Amino acid sequence: MSATDLTSDHFQRLQSGAVVAQTARPSLSYWADAWRRLRGNPRAMVSMSLIVFLLAFVSIGPSLWRVDPAAQDLDQIGIGPGADRRVTLAEPFQQWQPSIQDIALADNPLGFTLAMPANTQAVRLIWSEQLAQQQQQPRYRLYRNLFAPSDTGSFGLPLAVVDRSWFEDRLDLQPGTYYYTLVALDADGAATANAVTQTVDVIRVISIAEARQRGLLDAEETAELGQSLELAWHPLGTDYLGRDMLARLMYGGQVSLFIGIFAPLAFVLLGVIYGSVSGFLGGVTDQAMMRFADFVVALPFLLFMILFKVIFGIGPGESGIWPMLVAMIILLWPAPARLVRGQILQIREEGYVSASRLLGGTTSYVVGRHMLPNTLGVILVTMTFQVPSAIFTEAFLSFIGMGVAPPTPSWGAMCNEGIKSMLTRPHELLFPAMLISVTVLAFNLLGDGLRDALDARMRGSE
């Protein structure tokens, strides 16, 4: 090897800022690339906008739709969306005792008639004693039917057995047509063939005082009887106690989404820290930590939920949301911890990690630059999949009465109430169930999209 004859002339200083090569596209950071791919996934984008919409619905919604979710509108119980709200002003309800004139009304061929126009306050019926089967102790049974009586001998709901010749019906009167049937009874109380039916059209009424109290009429506004008004508007109908469904869905969503987002955030974070420490340290520590995680998996969730309720001093009739949150955080972290540990163990042996180490990368640099970004996809996906499962857990616990306390609504509790009247008033079950389904589906699809977008090995691909 001859002595070097390199001189300084052989070297030339590069001009700083000189363009060496032109890149065709701007360089993409990891996040920008992931975002680009996510944007290209229409399902994920629709889901994301749905989630944003749901969050706005429960957070901004209540300040736009200012209706107390606990207020009971007993005139509009269980009405569906878009129900008829017209109401007529009438005299306030008063006890009724038939007068001579009323009794004279019954003197018609049918012998069974209305004593005064029927409305939702009361239907007042009066009849002639000629209808009685036996004159000494006249007794009648009165029926009410929603359907025109057929020849099956069914007259509908038995309202009462009376021994006078008038009756006032106040039971759950809704605007519409009713068929009242009067059956004379014999001495043993058995029905006889003596039956007359009267068709009655009921209109909805409200007294002026009630209308003012509910804000349907201003204090100064003059009103006269017979004037038509509109009752409070319930865009999505009301529940079994006349509470506004829209307001309840908004307030109920706060509870459901709070649990659905905070619980997974907390326990996935816990799991990530635990899992990465365990995976990174490896060996005996790893073994010990993972056996502890196995132990936690075996703990029964419901039992702990009840225990926390007791420890927290949550009395009867108080919300069980906080113990639910704590129980979820304490018991559900092992699943993400195992997942992350597995990832870390795998990445630890990768060539690029060894390379980074050989080139002098410190532990924090290796973890921060190589390990976490490569597990991030798994972590985010786990979290989005845990959100629906947390919402379901809340729904289930409220369903069995361990969650929110009345009158606070939650979507799960609303389903629980709605299922009882599923056939007659489906909207009470349908709306909360739909919101739960949409939320769960949106988070699932977004999780799906995120998994594809965040996968580091798919960088740069479409």
Number of other CB atoms surrounding residue 104 within 10 Å: 11
424 lies in the site for other proteins, by CB under 8 A: yes
Residue type, 223: A
CA distance 14 to 7: 17
CA distance 177 to 444: 48
Residue type, 119: N
- Comparison of 280 and 411: residue with beta carbon closer to other proteins: 411
36 lies in the site for other proteins, by CB under 8 A: no
Binding-site member from 119, 145, 374, 384 for other proteins (CB under 8 A)? 145
Of the ranges 101-109, 143-151, 214-222, 361-369, which one interacts with other proteins (CB under 8 A)? Answer: 143-151
Pair 89, 223: CB distance under 8 Å: yes
Token pair recorded at residue 247: 């307001």
Binding-site member from 8, 17, 63, 172 for other proteins (CB under 8 A)? 172
CA distance 178 to 340: 66
Cis peptide before 407 (omega within 30 of 0): yes
170 lies in the site for other proteins, by CB under 8 A: yes
Alpha-carbon Rg for the chain, nearest whole angstrom, is 36
As measured in angstroms, the least distance from the Cβ of 171 to other proteins is 5
Residue type, 183: V
74 lies in the site for other proteins, by CB under 8 A: yes
CA distance 268 to 332: 8
As measured in angstroms, the least distance from the Cβ of 190 to other proteins is 11
Residue type, 101: Q
Binding-site member from 104, 157, 225, 303 for other proteins (CB under 8 A)? 157
CA distance 153 to 156: 9
- Comparison of 251 and 267: residue with beta carbon closer to other proteins: 251
Binding-site member from 38, 45, 50, 70 for other proteins (CB under 8 A)? 70
Contact pattern from residue 352 through residue 391 relative to other proteins, giving x for each residue in contact according to CB under 8 A and a dash for the rest = ----------------------------------------
Binding-site member from 315, 351, 360, 460 for other proteins (CB under 8 A)? 315
Footprint of other proteins on this chain (CB under 8 A)? 70-72, 74-75, 77, 144-147, 150, 152-154, 156-160, 170-172, 240-241, 315-318, 401, 405-407, 417, 420-421, 423-425
